[in-house]
Chains A and B, each alone.
Chain A
Amino acid sequence: MDRPPEDRTGATSVLPGAERRSAQDARDADFAAYLAARQPSLLRTAYLLTGNRHDAEDLVQVAFAKLYLSWDKVRDHGSIDGYVRRILVNEHNSLWRRAWKKREHTAEDSVLHALDRPHHDTTDDGVGSALWDVVQTLPRRARAVVVLRYYEELSEAETAGVLGISVGTVKSQTSRALAALRTRAPETLNPRASEEDDR
């Protein structure tokens, strides 16, 4: 068995253990500072992904817990924000959870049917809410693309990196999501349709 080193007096030193605790404390302090600084922002992104407060909080807790487990590795490599964002999105898209949330599958699958329904909200105040309603019906990955591109304002390449998909897939998903939003969006976003209706 390894013995702890002895100091010059021959007594067993307690320094290594203390150093370890000190290093652990410093690590935790480091992480806690990051947690405090980034939590509000990550919570907002999680809310946009999940659409409800409880799931958002749970998602953020899991993301930070996984980040904590990898903290030394990630901190040394930098890009902590990208890493935790990647955890957040992947966790949200995780197969295990998604596979059994059948209610959500059917919601996803019915998006296009929903988009066919007439929508008559023409007030400016209703535009944001209408868009949000449609965003919430998008399939999870498409929704993640929308959130990363238009809320986080990541580039296509950065979005592809977070989601682990190709830039081409990001482009096609973005295009389809916008098409869905445009179809369902209030007439104020589709002036040509309004003009045609007026005729």
Chain B
Amino acid sequence: MNEYDDLTTQLTRSLSDHADVMTGRSLGLAEVKGRARGIRRRRAASAVVAAAAAVAILVPAVSLANHTGGKPEPAPATQTPSPSPTTTGTPDGSQPAPGVLDVSDLPTGAAPTMDYLENGTLHFADGGTGQVNTRYTPAQFVEMADGSRVWQTADDTGTPYVEIQDTDGTFHDPVRTGGGLSVNPKHSIVAWLTPAGQVVVWGARASEPAPLGDPVPGSDLRLGPVTGDDCSLACSVIVNVRDGRGQPWEVSDSGSQPLRDGGYLVVNDDSEGGLSIGFTEITDFKTCSKLLGGGEFQGFATCKNQLISFSPDGQLIQALPSYFDGVGPGGIAMYGLDGKQLFERSATAQVQSYFTVATWEDDTHVLAPTYQDGKWALVRIASDGSMEYAVAPVKGPYDQSRFLLPTGGNVPVA
């Protein structure tokens, strides 16, 4: 028996030994049927739930930035964009203590100014609703500049697919994907990965999706930013390889090659101004990030937060805690390009909140599906740290977000 045989034999024995001690509690048919009913309900397109949004539109205008409920808020940093009073608010609720991500009793603001999915119903920014007619269950979607939508869906087994919905509402046949969609800032190119690591792009006058570059080697591939406006001219897609070695790849029509610029382990976002953010160190206990500067901005590094995405105008950076676990991030921060932290809000032992993905709604606000106390709410967070409901809290299971926001947010105004 050679060394290899020894290892695999020992491995099989080890797995069997550990598996054998797992007896677990007996699962009955009633429990399975109950869980199945819950899954079926979530899959089904729900009835239109627009009451909260409708109420929000009718209320008097109050600046989100000024609506602090009498409690002090961190002052917006100077020389950074101020959150514009985009919202109308009710006198209900109040701002939580500074620094705390407490969304249990916020003022109600305006409805989201971007389309979003709530329990299977598509809510449009103009207040209308529509049904989602994808073949499988939506997990992510992107709105394209030409009015089409690209969905990532999953079948009953969890196998992911991409479904392209043309502007007339018709769907292309689903195609298998390795998971994840990424879109360029102008929303003219959407990219995904096949299970074999091949980047596929679609948009900007293309009738069908097309492969870009060569397949990226490695396991656990994640899409990074997409640059360029039209892949028939030039575009590139960053693919992060999260296999422990941290070597991002740059994929373009010239081929695929390791990205050496910047010394990133993971590239999170590029701005149209030529700046980039990503991770430079990842350990069990922290993640360090940097902004790679250019022009007037020298760049900065921080291990206090993970730098995640640029605002649409490229002037602010959304950030997450350096370390987090559990179901979702329990904190959010924003930075200016000069490295100044504008605010940070975090869950606490008393306030157990978390969100799924915070998506830029405009240059100074993000929307985040946030869970707390058994309810999901769509929360608007401004660059001064003030918060309000864009959709009021509704009961829901902790591990199933009620809301799905479009990746990349709104299509930019031309």
Contacts and interface: CB of A to CB of B under 8 A. Distances in A.
Interface residues on A, range: 35 or more
Interface string A22-48: 000000100110010001100111011
A59 B413 CA distance: 43
A178 B24 contact: no
A97 B287 CA distance: 20
Interface in A1-55: 28, 31-32, 35, 39-40, 43-45, 47-48, 53
Interface string A150-165: 1101000000000011
A132 B320 CA distance: 32
Given A44-B22, A57-B24, A164 B176 contact: yes
B282 A110 contact: yes
B195 A166 contact: yes
Contacts of A140: 220
A75 interface: no
B97 interface: no
Interface in B379-402: 399, 401
Contacts, number: 207
A94 B19 CA distance: 22
Q: Is the interface of A mostly helix, strand, loop or mixed?
A: helix
B78 to A, nearest CB: 32
Contact of A61 (B16, B18, B31, B154): B31
Contacts of B6: 189
Interface in A83-139: 83, 86-87, 90-91, 93-97, 99-113, 127-129, 131-132, 135, 139
B32 A61 contact: yes
A191 interface: yes
Interface string B158-169: 111000000000
Contacts of B11: 131, 135, 146, 150, 178, 181
B12 A165 contact: no
Interface in B299-336: 320, 323-329
A11 B179 CA distance: 57
A99 B160 CA distance: 14
Given A35-B32, A96-B139, A151-B16, A101 B3 contact: no
Contacts of B399: 97
A127 B10 contact: yes
Given A108-B220, A109-B242, A132-B14, A100 B329 contact: yes
Contacts of B13: 128
Interface in B174-206: 176, 179-180, 195-197
Interface string B1-42: 001101110111111111110111111010111011011100
Interface residues of B, number: 72
Contacts of B195: 164-166, 169
Contact of A185 (B7, B326, B329): B7
Contacts of A97: 327, 399
Interface stretch (B48-56, B143-151, B243-251, B343-351): B243-251
B3 A65 contact: no
Nearest to B37: A65
Most chain A beta-carbon neighbours within 10 Å: one of B10, B40, B244: B244
7 contacts: A65-B39, A105-B282, A135-B14, A140-B220, A151-B16, A166-B195, A185-B7
Given A53-B22, A60-B27, A66-B36, 5 more contacts: A31-B32, A40-B23, A61-B32, A69-B36, A112-B245
